Copies of this chain bind each other. A is one copy, B any other.
Amino acid sequence: LIIKVGGAAGIDYDFLCEDIATLWQENKSLVLVHGGSSFTDELSRKLDHPPRFVTSVSGIQSRFTDRETLEIFEMAYCGKMNKGIVERLQRLEVNAVGLSGLDGRIWEGPRKTTLKIVENGKRKVLRGDHTGRVERVNINLIEMLLENGYLPVLTPPAASFDGEAINVDGDRAAAVLGAALKADTVLFLSNVPGLLKDVEDEKSLIKKLCLKDLESAKNDIARGRMKKKVMGAGEAIEAGVGRCIFGDARIPQPVRSALEGRGTVIERG
């Protein structure tokens, strides 16, 4: 089981960690992946280096990550968020180990230094970007931790093939991890109940999707960050993960609820 929890406002990390602690006592084969976008934005603004979001020519939104942003990102994700989650789990007697994808090259892939974007209707090239995508997973380190009773708590950045820190999308990194570990289930928990037909109406939840629906779901239904979750889910299932579930991380027992099918369940067939 891979649990990916986002970094958006409204997510309740206490509920999440309590739920994980109970599950962990039953079955010690679980990896937690987390984000930290909302706190990164807040910290960037406080440090007078406000976030800059750009839209690629293919219509995907991402954070432009110059060196200063990368370091703020590391402070937020690897410092405050990662250690905050590890501390919550340690207080609940789960022996958590917090790592970034850079550590032991858990997540490795190519760096992208230039970004082709569309801004005010015009195409532009941005240089000095520290982003990339995950192509390779060091499953030995993860399995070694699991076999010895440690719960891995993973977060971006990843490592480029040259060993540089690169900002990668956490959802897609969790999907690649799930595929590499041949996970039964990858949960994507965020501050919405799942994939919504109408983002304004939480009752418009789509309960089931199969692989062939994902392309149109990504293009026609998903908005903003949900697009990457849909892409990640598709990649994970293509690579052999049993199912992906988009669930709500604002409620008590968020993991159990999602595993019971509350949310959007995505399967191959």
Stretch among A156-164, A168-176, A208-216, A247-255 lining the B interface: A156-164
> B99 contacts A83, CB within 8 Å?
no
Copies of this protein in the assembly total: 2
Q: Which partner residue on chain B sits nearest A153 by CB separation?
A: B103
Question: Does A78 lie within 8 Å of B83, measured CB to CB?
Answer: yes
A140 interfacial by beta-carbon distance below 8 Å: yes
Q: Quick check: which of A3-11, A25-33, A90-98, A257-265 contacts chain B, the rest being far away?
A: A90-98
Q: A79-B76, A95-B105 are in contact. Are A87 and B46 (CB under 8 A)?
A: no
- Quick check: is A120 within 8 A (CB to CB) of the other chain? no
Contact of A150 among B75, B79, B141 (CB under 8 A): B141
Q: Is the pair B90, A98 in contact by a Cβ cutoff of 8 Å?
A: no
Q: A74-B80, A79-B80 are contacts. A90–B159 as well, Cβ < 8 Å?
A: yes
User: Which residues of A, 95-144, contact B by the 8 Å Cβ criterion?
Assistant: 95-100, 102-105, 140-141, 144
Please report whether the interface of chain A is mostly helix, strand, loop or mixed according to DSSP.
helix
Asked if residues B90 and A96 are in contact (CB atoms below 8 Å), the reply is no
Tell which of B87, B105, B165 touches A165, judged by Cβ atoms closer than 8 Å.
Answer: B87
Min CB distance, A256 to chain B, in Å? 23
Q: Is A71 an interface residue (CB 8 A)?
A: yes
A210 to chain B, nearest CB (A): 39
Q: Is the CB of A104 within 8 A of B95?
A: yes
Q: What is the minimal beta-carbon distance from A110 to any residue of chain B, in angstroms?
A: 15
Decide if A86 is an interface residue (CB 8 Å cutoff).
yes
Q: Which residues of B contact A84 (CB under 8 A)?
A: 71, 74
Q: How far is the CA of A159 from the CA of B71 in the complex (A)?
A: 25
Q: B78, B87, B164: which contacts A164 (Cβ < 8 A)?
A: B87
| Least Cβ–Cβ distance between A159 and chain B, in angstroms | 6
Instruction: Tell me the A residues contacting B by CB distance below 8 Å.
Output: 43, 46-47, 71, 74-80, 82-84, 86-87, 89-93, 95-100, 102-105, 140-141, 144, 148, 150, 157, 159, 162-165
